[in-house]
Amino acid sequence: MDANKQIQRFEEFLDNSCKAELLEKIRKGEDFLIVNFAELSRFDPDLADALLDNPEDSIKAAEIAVESFDLPKDMKHFKVRFKNLPQSQKIMVRNIRSKHITKLLVVDGIVRQKSDVRPQVTNAKFECPQCGNVISQLQLDAQFKEPSRCGCGRKGKFRLLSKELVDAQGIVLEEAPEDLEGGEQPKRIQLFLKNDLVSPITERRTNPGSKIRITGILKEVPITLRTGAKSTRFELLIECNFVESIQQDFYDINISREEEEKIRELAADPKVYQKIIDSIAPSIYGYEKIKAALLLQLLGGIQKKRDDGVVTRGDMHILLIGDPGAGKSQLLKRINVIAPKGRYVSGKGVSGAGLTASVVKDEFLHGWSLEAGALVLANKGICCIDEMDKMSPEDRSAMHEALEQQSISISKANIQATLVARTTVLAAANPKFGRFDPYDILANQIDLPPALINRFDLIFPIKDMPDAARDETLAGHILKLHQSPHVEKQQELDTRFLRNFIAYAKQHSKPVLTEGALNELKDYYVEMRNKGSIDEGGVKAIPISPRQLEALVRMSEASAKVRLSQKVTKKDAKRAIELLHYCLSQVGIDPETGKIDIDRITTGVTASQRSHIVLIKEMIAEVENKVGKAIPIDDVVKVAEEKGIDASEVEEVIQKLKRVGDLFEPKRGFIQRI
């Protein structure tokens, strides 16, 4: 099909199918039109084939056809973009070959790196100093070109009159991990975007970590060797025609009118909590409390920014610690599917740089560039971290800032940056010795640093203890799933609807605490803090700290979001208190006093232990006054037993004091204060 015929056919097509849309774009002042390829194919299959085989000329013909309409004067360069290409044009980065050069392709992937938007020359006008002739020179290559000669025969320098600039940007696209098999390494390709594709609105779609689908023309780029000559090898680059986002965060999902009505209907249902909890992970039996907590985590609280610049996070973090085979990883995988923007990482395969960010030497964008890690890529989404106990301590410490301040600071290779990581973390770990010891306290078996544990709002221990009735039901449930994998519960909501419900609730519900809810939380907090917790030694157990109070507020807000309510009621506060109390009573009980003591989790030393340390220090000072500098351990044990403290306890405290450097052992059986 020759060029004139193409232009004519495009004019007819635009007049028939896209006129209203074109006028709307002109009215808005936008200089691009998005055409659905399926409509073009229905209108003229030959024209559609010509577009796929020779896209550069066809797109140019379409743009000339648009200009034949009566466009405003300031809209000279109107762009035509094509979406919804046939499946045959979709290709993986690893399968791109030289035969695809100059063809129109569709590629999916994740944005890894992105350059700044910079102007690029497309056309330059030169004046001949001899005859005054104006020469127009198109700039198609990477190198700036001047005219070689003028019509009057003059060669050499010409005066630059003007140049046309467009905004351009480079992107590195990487294959998505879910498209790969086995041990394949994800391949990368460079993209080139210009004009409206780099406008501030569309730029949000191409942030590092976003999953995008691009339609573009594959081109070859010559490589210049160090000698200045051109290499026989060529680099590949896709010049983008259209970019769309595939994976969205909660705030980008568009919900249809019918779906919105369904969502509001579900939110008004009195059984809404139970229905959603049953749908969170229907293939996993039991764990009602954990599923309720996961629902609240998906919805999250509200981030508050105060006038003094202090930001309180709205995201809840949950830690599951349990025996092997209890279904922790399955829960994490399922949440990763429900959350619109989820990342799943696991144990030994995680490094500090992979979680937060790394600085890499970059060939394409030149110089050093920042590569975002999982916590940054899951911004406004959920990051599921499995096998957290298998991570090395240095890598775990990289998470502290991300969990509380929700930012990641990097200062490496002349790059000082603070990246936003408003990410919700759901982590799973095994106990210290692989399985819980039923005779030991839970807190002693959590092999994670106290400072990290303290940042989790809820900690759920999952014990796998033999129980005939429960085991029979569980076995029946698992075997039924194997027998017929497609059996779904009657009350189960499908995953897509559940995702849309959560997105809609996050977008539209911004609940505020009512007086009733506020008093409920305050009463619980004050009562827990002062629940007859003075021990004989005078050191108070701290059952709950302000961090838990903030967690209660977040959970209450999330509970109100389930009903799409704008108010947090007393009932929401009670639901949050019930969950927190359940976790504290599981993990935070001090076995000696039988009371809840948050220090058991946050510092590893309970209040009763602390009071014992104070008492034993006093006894050592007392014995020292009687016998002098070298104190026999037996004398200290005797005095302690008179006061009702066990000998093993005394031994333990003396060992602790020796470790921290308060005591030393001058000779066997004797201690001395420093």
Report for 392-396, 422-426, 483-487: range of highest mean pLDDT: 422-426
Report how far residue 366's alpha carbon sits from residue 157's, in angstroms, rounded to the nearest whole number: 31
SS (H, E, C) 171-197: EEEECCHHHCCCCCCCCEEEEEEEHHH
**With 80 as the cut, is the pLDDT of residue 325 above it?**
no
Q: Please list the residue range(s) of the chain that carry CATH number 3.30.1640.10.
A: 3-84
Which listed CATH number (3.40.1360.10, 3.30.800.10, 2.60.120.260, 3.30.1640.10) goes with 3-84? Answer: 3.30.1640.10
In three-state secondary structure terms, 427 is: strand
Q: What is the pLDDT of residue 56?
A: 81
Report for 359-373, 431-445, 482-496: range of highest mean pLDDT: 431-445
Report how far residue 409's alpha carbon sits from residue 430's, in angstroms, rounded to the nearest whole number: 29
In three-state secondary structure terms, 108 is: strand
CB 405: neighbour CB atoms within 10 A? 13
Contact 250, 507 (CB under 8 A): yes
The count of C-alpha atoms lying within 13 angstroms of the C-alpha of 546, restricted to the half-sphere facing its C-beta, is 1
Report how far residue 358's alpha carbon sits from residue 452's, in angstroms, rounded to the nearest whole number: 22
Contact 223, 234 (CB under 8 A): yes
407 strand-pairing partners: 420
Percent of the chain residues past pLDDT 90, beyond the cut = 0
Contact 5, 57 (CB under 8 A): no
| Six token digits for residue 513 | 């605490």
Mean pLDDT score, 326-348? 80
Higher pLDDT, 482 or 319: 319
Lowest mean pLDDT among 178-192, 294-308, 480-494: 480-494
pLDDT grade, residue 313 (50/70/90)?
confident
Q: What is the pLDDT of residue 611?
A: 66
Contact 272, 490 (CB under 8 A): no
Contact 644, 592 (CB under 8 A): no
- The string of pLDDT tens digits covering residues 67-90 is 777 666 666 677 788 888 888 878
Q: What is the pLDDT of residue 537?
A: 44
> Which of the 8 DSSP states describes residue 69?
S
pLDDT grade, residue 593 (50/70/90)?
low
Report how far residue 164's alpha carbon sits from residue 206's, in angstroms, rounded to the nearest whole number: 25
Higher pLDDT, 256 or 590: 256
Q: What is the dihedral of CA 102, 108, 113, 114, to 10 degrees?
A: 60
Higher pLDDT, 388 or 222: 388
pLDDT grade, residue 536 (50/70/90)?
very low
Report how far residue 189's alpha carbon sits from residue 245's, in angstroms, rounded to the nearest whole number: 17
Higher pLDDT, 366 or 16: 16
Q: What is the pLDDT of residue 353?
A: 75
Task: Using alpha carbons, select from 540, 552, 551 the residue that is nearest to residue 595.
Answer: 540
What is the full DSSP assignment across 587-606?
Answer: H-EETTTTEE-THHHHTS--
Contact 279, 492 (CB under 8 A): yes
- CA angle, residues 408, 400, 397, in degrees to nearest 5: 105
pLDDT grade, residue 252 (50/70/90)?
low
**With 50 as the cut, is the pLDDT of residue 258 above it?**
yes
Domain 257-508: which CATH class? Answer: alpha beta
Q: How far from chain centre, in Å, is Cα 530?
A: 39
Q: Which fold has domain 607-673?
A: Arc Repressor Mutant, subunit A (1.10.10)
The count of C-alpha atoms lying within 13 angstroms of the C-alpha of 169, restricted to the half-sphere facing its C-beta, is 23
Q: Which fold has domain 100-245?
A: OB fold (Dihydrolipoamide Acetyltransferase, E2P) (2.40.50)
Contact 208, 372 (CB under 8 A): yes
Contact 221, 268 (CB under 8 A): no
Q: What is the pLDDT of residue 228?
A: 73
Task: Using alpha carbons, select from 601, 554, 660 the residue that is nearest to residue 451.
Answer: 601
168 strand-pairing partners: 118, 194
C-beta pairs of 282-289 under 8 Å, 24+ apart in sequence: 282/488, 282/489, 282/492, 283/330, 283/334, 283/481, 284/327, 284/330, 284/331, 284/334, 285/473, 285/474, 285/477, 285/478, 286/470, 286/474, 287/327, 287/331, 287/462, 289/460, 289/579, 289/582
Mean pLDDT score, 630-658? 79
Lowest mean pLDDT among 85-89, 220-224, 331-335, 489-493: 489-493
Lowest mean pLDDT among 97-101, 185-189, 213-217, 606-610: 606-610
Task: Using alpha carbons, select from 459, 398, 438 the residue that is nearest to residue 598.
Answer: 459
* 106 phi, psi to nearest 5 deg: -120, 125
What is the full DSSP assignment across 342-408?
Answer: EEEEEGGG--HHHHSEEEEE-SSS-SEEEEE-HHHHTTTSEEEEE-GGGS-HHHHHTHHHHHHT-EE
Report how far residue 323's alpha carbon sits from residue 199's, in angstroms, rounded to the nearest whole number: 51
Percent of the chain residues past pLDDT 70, beyond the cut = 85
Report how far residue 549's alpha carbon sits from residue 240's, in angstroms, rounded to the nearest whole number: 50
Q: Please list the residue range(s) of the chain that carry CATH number 1.10.10.10.
A: 607-673
Report how far residue 325's alpha carbon sits from residue 285's, in angstroms, rounded to the nearest whole number: 13
**With 70 as the cut, is the pLDDT of residue 105 above it?**
yes
